[in-house]
Amino acid sequence: MIEPIKVLFMASEADPLIKVGGLGDVAGSLPIALRSLPPAWLEGSRVDARLVIPFHAAIRSKLEPVEKVAEFAVEHAKGPILAQVYRAEIQNLPIYLIASRLFGAGEPVYTSDNYRDGLKYGFFTLAALRLPQFIDWKPDILHFNDWHTATGPYLARLDPETALQNTPSVLSIHNLPYLGGGSERALAELGIPPSQDERLPEWSRSMPLPIGLANADRIIAVSPTYGEEILTPEFGCGLDGFLQERRESVTGILNGLDQKSWDPESDPALAACFNSSQIDLRERNKQALVKNFALNPDPRLPLLIIISRMDYQKGIDLAIDALSETDDFAWQAIILGTGDRTIETACQHLQEAYPERVRAVLKFDAQLSRLMYAGGDMILMPSRYEPCGLAQMIAMRYGCIPIARATGGLKDTIRDAVDPGSTGFLFKEARSKELAVALTRAFRYFSDPIQWREMQLRGMQLDFSWQRSALAYAQAYRSLLENQP
């Protein structure tokens, strides 16, 4: 029996215990998928992944820990901070929860104060690296995620007490622009010195994510294209020059989708469930939607949807302009989203300008989103950047065709209508004119129900399983271990 690859996976959030964004999806799914990989795919080996997250106050009511496994203090300039570690298990995945006064009642997962978040996640990372000593389980690989735990690769190297100085580390980049700026003083108070790496721009040497980028053995972006884009000035957040120097160590692996939760065949939120052999039933979802929103029930009118955080990143402003520019076509649109007030107001204005055809629903509504994926004909995703993107994968699985900017994970998951095997419509530059052209192409395509149906079916049959992503991660771990000095 070959020894398993032991992976300590550290993150600030993990679904279903606690989820704020896409990182929660990944941390909730990937370690379980890694553990479930068949040994036959790994030359007889398997992955013993274990998850470490903070014991956020909001988790306490959801989970009964099995046992307390450790208690120790982490040094801080104003006096030691106590860490208490509990063990729990979900679907056979061992989860270690680090409790501390820093994750006390009322403390949200993230605040707008990076000193505060820097302190709690700097502490968490230090504590997570101390944990293996107490559980008699020494990891072969350390896997960190985003700026919150990005000091980890550096700390493992710096701190002989962890006994992890030669353990290879992976840093996943879910969203590069969040460098953790503002947390410098908190790191200093925890005794984490700035990086001495002269390849890093000077302004970045005290920030957690750049420190991690300089020290991780492998940097993995959440899609292959985003992995390339972060090497360029447009997406590199001032670190592109540095990342270029490390390009040999930078790759991208596409996130998976929870295909059980997102399944049109069994989704209880739908007006009618369907699959690729009964796709006609899909139309009932469109009927339910247009009825709910008092839109025109004519099935020949394309129904566009947007389901998104209202953030400049997502390019909703481009969608609003492009819709106005294509109003010769009789489209209808439902926009679901919340966030930035200016963008929300712009959506409201679009509804006022087109009261017969636009509905702006400015809230977070998971149930409604499901019906929209099932009933919408096309989803708009004109993102300025998109590290991976889940919405387009869900949409394709539900037979809703994406019209998206060719960036990051959107480019990796959608094939444009000009290609054989196409599943959507892509445009290059973040300009409303280009989106308007893609929209026009989509409207023409939609007017031929046979070719539209074929495109829907191709999208529905794609495999976005976590198993695929997990295999790619396992291969990355193996190559790190094989290339160890």
Residue among 9, 3, 387 at smallest CA distance from 169:
9
Over the window 15 to 54, marking each residue x when it contacts ligand ADP by CB under 6 A and - when it does not, the resulting string is ------xx--------------------------------
- Binding residues for ligand ADP, rule CB under 6 A, total 16
Which residue's CB is nearer to ligand ADP, number 214 or number 372?
Answer: 372
For the bound state, the minimum distance from the C-beta of residue 136 to ligand ADP, rounded and expressed in Å, comes to 37
For the bound state, the minimum distance from the C-beta of residue 267 to ligand ADP, rounded and expressed in Å, comes to 12
Residue type, 473: Y
Q: Which of 369, 413, 423, 469 binds ligand ADP (CB under 6 A)?
A: 369
Q: Which of 18, 391, 403, 417 binds ligand ADP (CB under 6 A)?
A: 391
Biggest CA–CA distance in the chain, Å, is 70
Residue among 211, 258, 232 at smallest CA distance from 22:
258
The count of C-alpha atoms lying within 13 angstroms of the C-alpha of 115, restricted to the half-sphere facing its C-beta, is 2
For the bound state, the minimum distance from the C-beta of residue 85 to ligand ADP, rounded and expressed in Å, comes to 29
Structure tokens, 166: 């030669």
Q: Taking CB under 6 A as the rule, does residue 173 contact ligand ADP?
A: no
Which residue's CB is nearer to ligand ADP, number 162 or number 369?
Answer: 369
Residues 67-126 that bind ligand ADP (CB under 6 A): none
408: left (phi over 0), alpha (psi -120 to 50) or beta: left
Which residue's CB is nearer to ligand ADP, number 171 or number 336?
Answer: 336
Q: Taking CB under 6 A as the rule, does residue 243 contact ligand ADP?
A: no
Which residue's CB is nearer to ligand ADP, number 217 or number 365?
Answer: 365
Q: Taking CB under 6 A as the rule, does residue 366 contact ligand ADP?
A: yes
Which residue's CB is nearer to ligand ADP, number 251 or number 261?
Answer: 261
Q: Are 312 and 427 in contact (CB under 8 A)?
A: no
Q: Which one of 130-138, 243-251, 364-372, 451-459 is the stretch in contact with ligand ADP (CB under 6 A)?
A: 364-372
Q: Which one of 139-147, 179-187, 358-366, 418-426 is the stretch in contact with ligand ADP (CB under 6 A)?
A: 358-366
H helices within 190-247, ranges in order?
Answer: 208-215, 224-229, 240-245
Structure tokens, 170: 């992976």
Q: Are 215 and 169 in contact (CB under 8 A)?
A: yes
Residue type, 169: S
Q: Are 218 and 476 in contact (CB under 8 A)?
A: yes
CA 137 to chain centre: 29
Q: Which of 389, 399, 424, 459 binds ligand ADP (CB under 6 A)?
A: 389
Which residue's CB is nearer to ligand ADP, number 205 or number 309?
Answer: 309
Helix (H/G/I), strand (E/B), else coil: 401? strand
Environment class of 470 (CB within 10 Å of its CB; exposed 0-12, middle 13-18, buried 19+): buried
For the bound state, the minimum distance from the C-beta of residue 162 to ligand ADP, rounded and expressed in Å, comes to 32
Instruction: Please tell me the chain's helix, strand, coil percentages from 3-state DSSP, rounded to the nearest 5.
Output: 40, 20, 40
For the bound state, the minimum distance from the C-beta of residue 239 to ligand ADP, rounded and expressed in Å, comes to 20
Residues 283-342 that bind ligand ADP (CB under 6 A): 307-309, 336-338
Over the window 122 to 161, marking each residue x when it contacts ligand ADP by CB under 6 A and - when it does not, the resulting string is ----------------------------------------
DSSP state of 39: G
Residue among 184, 376, 180 at smallest CA distance from 285:
376
Q: Which one of 27-35, 361-369, 448-456, 468-476 is the stretch in contact with ligand ADP (CB under 6 A)?
A: 361-369
For the bound state, the minimum distance from the C-beta of residue 233 to ligand ADP, rounded and expressed in Å, comes to 22
Q: Which of 364, 444, 468, 479 binds ligand ADP (CB under 6 A)?
A: 364
- What torsion, rounded to 10 degrees, do the Cα atoms 106, 112, 114, 119 define? 0
Residue among 246, 247, 235 at smallest CA distance from 409:
235
Which residue's CB is nearer to ligand ADP, number 309 or number 441?
Answer: 309
Which residue's CB is nearer to ligand ADP, number 142 or number 307?
Answer: 307
Q: Are 23 and 453 in contact (CB under 8 A)?
A: no
Residues listed for the chain: 485
DSSP state of 140: S
**Interface ranges with ligand ADP (CB under 6 A):** 21-22, 307-309, 336-338, 364-366, 369, 389-391, 394
